[in-house]
Amino acid sequence: MSSLPHINWSYPTSVRFGVGRIKELPEAVKATGMSNPLLVTDPGVAALPMVADAIASLKAAGLGADVFSNVKPNPIDANIEAGVAAYKMGKHDGVIAFGGGSGLDAGKLIAFMSGQTRPIWDFEDIGDWWTRADEAGIAPIIAVPTTAGTGSEVGRAGVVTNSETHTKKVIFHPKMLPAIVICDPELTAGMPKMITVGTGMDALAHCLEAYSSPFYHPMSEGIALEGIRLVLENLPKVAADGSDLEARGHLMSAAAMGAVAFQKGLGAIHSLSHPVGALYDTHHGMTNAVFMPYVLQFNKAAIEQKFERLAGFLGIAGGYQGVLDAILKLREDLGVPHTLKGLNVDGAKRDLIAEMAVVDPTAGGNPVKLTKEGALEIFDKALSGEV
């Protein structure tokens, strides 16, 4: 009798990767059947020439296009509601999700909610809640990432903060997966160094947690391995020289790989980062970067053997400790704060954060069962700096 589980696997969509591929945006829009898309992004990206160029190229191709940019760095429910209203008012027929994680998630959620009648919270990633959605009401999506971090461009979910409870919720539906993704490393070249670092560390967190997750998904586990290597080798290069398009391209690949890999699961890095981000409005990737070594140490007994293999693959001596030391050095070299205090996070809400972390959907993938006591232990160490 086989002990192998019955499990469903799903892999990404059509991805157009390479320098200059943004020029294909009008053709991609037409290929998905759109004629009047709404481009959703955040205010910072909306002000950049790349958005004006994208809109100009769409209009030159005879397509309608408007921009919606009322999106917070950690999108909230009101942003999605305003986006849906703009979508309907403009009589749009699809969404171009354009930008970093906030623009991508907001764009996907606006496309998803544009034809729904139930509240967004009815579609949280719990059990089969996604089956409540009206599939015919989900608008087509094209994703254009301008950062290399979340990998939301190849994901089937979006994260949004409930502004009443200050909790981050994952909204899921298979049809939220973009039909076409354009990954053009040139679009990431203007990112400030610390955004580059924060998003790159987010990709690393995705790959590390997916690799560490105990769930059975060997394809994702293999992808996570290569994603870890790409980040460790290329993030320092990009931090030193933001114009290195080859290294930026490898980071874009790693970001997409992280999102594919975390179908296998995430863990306590994310389940702690989510409440901290919701309560203190910190940058998600940088928050993951701060929690990373403390969570690895918490999980050490469960992942030590696996990290021997990881160290061998990476060419790092010293097994688990060698990998941990490499991550600590990477954080230090890139200017990542060693403690939560560097993100202006104090211990005033530690109990609430621990309670929220334990019930966060990502907690279930942690290789060591996350209890409130365990979450408090990790949080306290991340506050004091004790690895």
268/339 same-domain check: yes
180/251 same-domain check: no
Which of 173, 188, 203 terminates a domain? The answer is: 188
Which of 162, 188, 214 terminates a domain? The answer is: 188
List CB contacts of 305: < 8 A, sequence separation 6 or more: none
Res 254 pLDDT > 80: yes
Which of 188, 209, 226 terminates a domain? The answer is: 188
At 149, give phi and psi (nearest 5°): -155, -75
Mean pLDDT of 159-171: 91
142/103 same-domain check: yes
Say what the pTM is. 0.92
Residue 10 confidence (pLDDT): 66
183/197 same-domain check: no
Res 38 pLDDT > 90: yes
Question: Is 8 within the bounds of a domain?
Answer: no
48/168 same-domain check: yes
Question: Is 68 within the bounds of a domain?
Answer: yes
Q: How many domains does the chain have?
A: 2
211/111 same-domain check: no
333/273 same-domain check: yes
272/163 same-domain check: no
Question: Is 3 within the bounds of a domain?
Answer: no
Residue 29 confidence (pLDDT): 98
313/259 same-domain check: yes
Question: Is 282 within the bounds of a domain?
Answer: yes
Question: Is 283 within the bounds of a domain?
Answer: yes
248/283 same-domain check: yes
**Nearest to residue 259, comparing CAs of 336, 199, 347?**
199
165/203 same-domain check: no
Query: Of 10-19, 132-141, 280-289, which range is least confident?
Result: 10-19
Query: Of 6-20, 119-133, 337-351, which range is least confident?
Result: 6-20
CA distances from 296 to 70, 120, 275 (A): 36, 33, 19
Question: Is 364 within the bounds of a domain?
Answer: yes
The percentage of the chain sitting over the pLDDT mark of 70, rounded to a whole number, equals 99
Give CA–CA dist 353/166, Å, rounded.
11
Domain containing residue 238: CATH number: 1.20.1090.10
At 167, give phi and psi (nearest 5°): -115, 140
Q: Find out whether 68 and 164 touch, Cβ atoms under 8 Å.
A: no
Question: Is 9 within the bounds of a domain?
Answer: no
**Nearest to residue 54, comparing CAs of 93, 14, 91, 26?**
26
Domain containing residue 115: CATH number: 3.40.50.1970
Residues listed for the chain: 387
Res 205 pLDDT > 80: yes
Residue 84 confidence (pLDDT): 98
203/128 same-domain check: no
Q: Which domain holds residue 177?
A: 14-188
Question: Is 66 within the bounds of a domain?
Answer: yes
The 3-class SS string of the chain reads CCCCCCCCCCCCCEEEECCCHHHHHHHHHHHCCCCCCEEECCHHHHCCHHHHHHHHHHHHCCCCCEEECCCCCCCEHHHHHHHHHHHHHCCCCCEEEEECHHHHHHHHHHHHHCCCCCCHHHHECCCCHHHHCCHHHCCCEEEEECCCCCCHHHCCEEEEEECCCCEEEEEECHHHCCCEEEECHHHHCCCCHHHHHHHHHHHHHHHHHHHHCCCCCHHHHHHHHHHHHHHHHHHHHHHHCCCCHHHHHHHHHHHHHHHHHHHHCCCHHHHHHHHHHHHHCCCHHHHHHHHHHHHHHHCHHHHHHHHHHHHHHHCCCCHHHHHHHHHHHHHHHHCCCCCHHHHCCCCCCHHHHHHHHHHCHHHHHCCCCCCHHHHHHHHHHHHHCCC
Give CA–CA dist 233/229, Å, rounded.
6
Res 108 pLDDT > 90: yes
